[in-house]
Amino acid sequence: MNTVENNEASTRNNSANDTFIDCETFRNVMRKLAGSVTVVTTEGDGTFHGFTATAVCSVCAEPPTILIVVNRSARTHPYIHQKGVFAVNILADNQAHIANLFASKSSEQFANVSYAVTPRGVPVIEDAAAFIECNIDQQHEVGTHTIFIGRVLGGGAAENLPLIYHDANYARVAMI
C-alpha cells in the first residue's frame, strides 16, 4: 500500500485572493450530481463494518481501478485502512432500506442484512446490483475525507437496476 503523505507536486496553491463557493451553493450544485448508492464494507477486529456511500468513481480500466471517498470520522474508516481491502456493494433499487441502515449509527447493521463473505474475509451484500472488491493502492487525505484508490480484485453484476441518489432522495433509473 502506497500512502501519499505529501502530494505537493500535484497540488496547486490557492492564493489569498481566491474566493470560494459558499457551502450552501456547493451542496445545491452537488445535489444535481445523481449517483448510484453503494455500501462500502470491510472487516476488522473480528467484525464486519460498512457505511452508505455515493462518492465512488471508476478511475481507469487498465489496470482496473476505482476510488472511494470516506469521511475520517466514519467508524469504518480505520478498518478500511487497517485491512487494506474493501468491497463496494452497488445497491439494487429495492434496497433503499439497506442504504438507510448503513447510513445510521446502528451497531447491528450486519444482523439485519443477508451477506456472503469473500475469500479475503470481506462481507458482500446479497441481491445487490453489483459488487467490486479492491485492495488499497494509494490513499490521499483531502480536508475531512480520505480518498482510497482501490485496485479491483474481483466483482460481479446482476440483472437488477441500481438504486440512485438525487436531490437528497432515493430514485430509480428511468430510461430515455
Ligand X SMILES: Cc1cc2nc3c(=O)[nH]c(=O)nc-3n(C[C@H](O)[C@H](O)[C@H](O)COP(=O)(O)O)c2cc1C
The site for ligand X (CB under 6 A) is made up of 37, 51-55, 69-71, 74-76, 99, 103, 105, 165
CB of 143 to ligand X, least distance (A): 12
Nearer to ligand X, 70 or 152 (CB): 70
Closest-CB residue for ligand X? 55
Nearer to ligand X, 54 or 133 (CB): 54
Contact 150, 135 (CB under 8 A): yes
Residue at grid coordinates 475520517 = 72
CB of 124 to ligand X, least distance (A): 18
Contact 133, 87 (CB under 8 A): yes
Give SS3 for 109. helix
Nearer to ligand X, 48 or 85 (CB): 48
Contact 32, 167 (CB under 8 A): yes
